[in-house]
Chains A and B, each alone.
Chain A
């Protein structure tokens, strides 16, 4: 199948440190990929580079065969490349309903409308209620984000991304900070996504990774050291070494 999303030889360094070092990968519609790697491996940086939040030193990013390397973050979202943030980025003064409604309206090109209120738009509210219901946020729909628990803010972060109906979805540690009892909701929401959507999820929780992914990519020190099936990944010597190394370092630092 042809790639809906492709990255070619992406490079970026910070002060001499190559945080993304010649990364290439392709995703096809329907892909369910987990991107794993030790802390500081460059996973978030990779997402920032491909979404246009950071500029690469070199390399190319393509969406649906079109090069978007020179297109800004907004243009990439409009072409169907949507991300969630590892550290929640939400509007503290707004409600979950407002967040999802804004995403839905923006997706439909109506966020610039200067009259009417989303609560009075049944088709928008139907989508808002469905999505928030799926993530267990119905009760909190009209409460300000600053007044809801962090775990639930994490779920809202995902709801906003889903509301944009992406073609390629990049989730940066969606389950981090979500109580164990609620991670099932994330899994269910992901399971309900359209089959032809391509999803790449960064995640540290290996149980979640194994249940979700049909392909696992391991990033260490800015380079892809493994790209294959979930059953292979734990057996791979380089992967073990990378993780052991990072734990050894972590232990050393502490």
Chain B
């Protein structure tokens, strides 16, 4: 080994240690925030659990938008399908074990991801964006019409999950659902860290920047994007299932254009292309929404708009992206 390759090998090893540290830090932050949330808002665990479910949706969106460059305004299709899959499994098929319901949601989301992927990835750019909007409306309308299965506009009620692992009842305070959600989020986060740093994650970043270069390497951009869409569907489906299990009802709003657009707003707010960014955006947006809508129910949307404009203008990489960029620059300057 020459001196240069030695140094590089060392740099590589160093980089790896650094990344592992960030993984553990990420998990610690999630669990730490979960504890703080529990202590600060013991009477509002339902909001925190909803936040966790939406965080899964935004993480899922980040996979296709942030990592692969596919802009979509229809991502709630995957979340809502997951929610309905687990709700229908419980109501119509008697699958009331919460972990099995979760599995149904994940599966449903993955299938929806496959379907959406097949349609969306046929187009590029603006037509692609229009397709995503068309899809979410189709999914919404389908769920509305299939009311014998979905309850239509009344929502799918009567979801009664068994105690978790046969022991932990889904109590009125929502503690069990909260803990389930946090564990789910932590597991998904850890798995996604693995995926985005794997050779496959690298391939997807390449697809985002230059699909022609990827093809010239002999890899198929489309196949990579399809795989990512299915993974993304599984993650969003898990979020949908969590929502179904914790609220015990699934409404058409879980399959709406509004939720799709909001999740994109949250992602941009936090910063695309980073799992931490997705989490930051969700937490900030949902707290902001909760606080501001309580303080001023008439103008809260205006305030959300103002916040978003401020972030896009002054921190175009999102809240987390901008802070991380500043920190990196400071670290470099100190060297």
Q: Name A residues whose Cβ lies closer than 8 Å to a Cβ of B.
A: 51, 53, 72-74, 77-78, 82-83, 85, 89-94, 97-98, 101-103, 105-107, 110-120, 125, 129-130, 133, 138-139, 141-142, 160, 164
Contacts and interface: CB of A to CB of B under 8 A. Distances in A.
Contact of B198 (A97, A107, A117): A117
B199 A118 contact: yes
Given A73-B216, A112-B227, 6 more contacts: A73-B215, A74-B219, A89-B210, A91-B206, A93-B209, A94-B206
Contacts of B206: 91, 94, 102
A86 to B, nearest CB: 13
A85 B2 CA distance: 30
B50 interface: no
B205 interface: yes
Interface of B: 1-2, 4-5, 7-9, 11-13, 15-16, 19, 194-195, 197-203, 205-206, 209-210, 212-213, 215-220, 223-224, 227
Contact of A102 (B194, B197, B212, B217): B217
Given A93-B205, A111-B199, A141-B11, A77 B5 contact: no
B224 to A, nearest CB: 8
A97 B13 CA distance: 13
Given A91-B209, A107-B218, A112 B9 contact: no
Contact of A77 (B217, B223, B227): B217
A181 to B, nearest CB: 18
A119 B15 contact: yes
Contacts of B5: 129-130, 133, 138
A151 to B, nearest CB: 18
A113 B219 CA distance: 13
Contacts of B9: 125, 129
17 contacts: A78-B218, A90-B213, A91-B206, A91-B210, A92-B209, A98-B202, A105-B199, A110-B199, A111-B202, A113-B198, A113-B199, A129-B9, A138-B8, A141-B8, A142-B11, A142-B15, A160-B217
B198 A115 contact: yes
Contacts of B209: 91-94
A89 B200 contact: no
Contact of A106 (B2, B4, B194, B203): B203
